Every structure is written in C-alpha cells, then in structure tokens.
Amino acid sequence: MEVELLKKLVSTPSHFGEEKEISEFITSFLEPYAKVETQEVEGFGSNVIAYLKGVKNTVVLNGHMDTVGLSAGWTKNPWGQIEGDKFYGLGSADMKGGLAALMSVFAEIAELSRRERPNVIFTAVVDEEGYSRGAWELIKSKKLEKADVVLVGEPTNEKLMLGARGRFVIQVKAFGKKAHAARPENGINAIEELSKLLANLNRAKLKKHRKLGKGSFCTLEIEGKADGLSVPEYAKAIVDRHTVVGEDWEFVRETLEKLAQKLEIKAKLKIEKFKRPTPEMLPYYVKENLKVVKIFKRIFKQKTGKDVEVTYGKSVGDFNYFGTYLGKPTLVFGPIGGNWHSADEWVSISSVKRVKEIYANFLKALV
C-alpha cells in the first residue's frame, strides 16, 4: 500500500501554497478508516486530521504535504520514476515517502480492535516549507492537547532525531552619515560599517548544548546604495541565526550589540527580528530516558537487529513547533533518501516499507 500511496502523492504537485489537490486525496483515502476532518489554513488549502480511538497513550502522526518548487537539472521524471530500489520524484524524500508510510500505517492500525492500539491522531499539514502555517494552526486549535508523543515522518535516513536547533532571522539596519564620496572621512559609510559586523560574526558569542551542539550565523542578504557620489548613509542585512537551547532572542540581540561595540562600529545599528506570520522556531530536545524513546529503540532493534542511531537536527521544521509550543516529546524518524530540495530527489522503496513496519510495531507497543 505504501508504494502505491507514494506514487500517487509524488504524481500530485503540491508546492507550498498549492496543496488543495493533495489534501483532497489524503482526505478521501482516510475516510474509510476513521473520522476525518479538514482544517482550513487561509491561502494554503487545508490540513487533514483523522482520529482513531484506542487505549492508553495518544500518538500524533505528522507529515507535511507540500514541497519546494521544481529545480533545474532533473534527469529523472519529477512526478515519479522507479529505478531499482530508488523512487525518484519531487518531494519523494522530503517528505512524501514518510507521508506514505504514515498513511499506510494509519490504515493498518485502523483494522485492529480498539484494545490493540493507542489513540492515534493522524495529521497532514500545509506550508512546512514556508512558514509552518499548517502546524501552527493545528497547535492553536488545541486539537493535539491530549497527545503523549508526536511522531514526525521527516526523512532521517532511519536515524532517530530527538531534537533540533532553532532559528531566528535577523534584520540589521545600519544608519551612517552622508558626505561627499571624495571626502569619505567626513561621513560614516553604512555599507562598510555593516560589512565589518557581518565579516566578524564568527567572533560573536555562542552557547554550546551537549546534545544540539553550537548555533551558527549566516548572512543571507545585504543591500545598500549611495545617493550619487555620496557616502551611503543606509544599509540593511538579513542574517540567519540557528540557535540551541539557552539562546533566546535577548541573548542573540545582545550578542550582536556587544560585538558591534567590540568592533567599534561607527554606524548606528537597529537589530530586530525579521517579521514572519508565525512564531519563531525554537530549539528543543527529547530526553533519551523517556519511556516512549526506550520503546522506539527496542522496536527498532527487534526489526533491524541493530541499535538505532540517535541524531539531532541542524535546521528547523514543524517538529520545532511540536517540541516547544505544543510541548510534547517529538520523535522524528523517516526513510532513507537523497537530493532533498534539488534535482533527482529520491527515496528508498525498501526503506519506506521498513519504516512503515517500525511505525506499526511502535504503535502497538504503546498499548
């Protein structure tokens, strides 16, 4: 079932903001198995939510329906092509392979009696590749408040991800002093002063977390322009700042202010968050001694004969929202694949099948 679902999902275009068709397919697929509802996310189609009643724990199964756009350089059919164990297609790894496994296991678990399964809430969301509007709408609605654990099917190459760094996008504006460009000493060059700060971001203070490692800076954009033959008096930069637990906005902002003082930046700086329609993505991690984590590790070993490798995400996703704003243990585990967000993206068919079986055994073990 999971392979047929993968074919259908990949053959259905679903760039973020254009998820209506795939949302309707997932809804129609789930309806024979459970109570299903849709949740409108303005301008982005609808989340799909399905409920199975069981006993003991409540598990949220989560995947996103959207993909990034089609890039140049594809040599395979971006709407689905099989070669050996590889299934090529846009979004096949990120994350329609995991989504197919989640849908398939939901259908399988639905065939069990209530006493043989936990309570399960299946969620397929929109806009993960944009601003996580779908995940945020789910959390705001309080439909997941009774959850004991969230299992996200993002591609992890069959590693168990127990946390991830967070992210702020920072806007830094520099205000200098205009003067004739032939006499630059009479002015303050906003472009040069801001560039000085950006060139020394590696000197900024970063905290280190024993699981998540260290945060990072990356300049994404800079702009500035002179008014004729003048010293430019204004410049602006957009900077990515990935964070670890313990690095909040005040820490990030103050770190940049202190660096500017150390570098004797002459321009006046305004440091603020880049505006986004949803809250910032905060870092989180899950303790390995939690019962649900121990159960997952046991199931993985029973299925594969080896210990699962534990990893932590360098970047962000909907899992950050579930791990922080929802405040539930969030496990991320998905199939083997490659070329995410690039040409000839692929996912392993055997891995999708194996991941689905691990999901099924994990759910049964929670009863």
Active site residues: 66, 128
Report the run of H or E that residue 49 belongs to, with start and end. strand 46-52
Residue 238 carries which DSSP code?
E
Neighbour-count burial of 222, counting CB atoms closer than 10 A to its CB (0-12 exposed, 13-18 middle, 19+ buried): middle
Residues paired with 61 in a beta bridge: 122, 151
Which two tokens mark 56?
Answer: 């003991």
Integer Cα distance of 152 and 328 in angstroms: 12
Which two tokens mark 286?
Answer: 């899950």
Integer Cα distance of 13 and 8 in angstroms: 10
DSSP secondary structure of 91-102: TIIIIIHHHHHH
Which two tokens mark 201?
Answer: 């971001």
User: Which residues make Cβ contacts (< 8 Å) with residue 28, sequence separation at least 6?
Assistant: none
In the numeric block, the tokens 């560039």 are attached to 195
User: What length does the chain have?
Assistant: 367
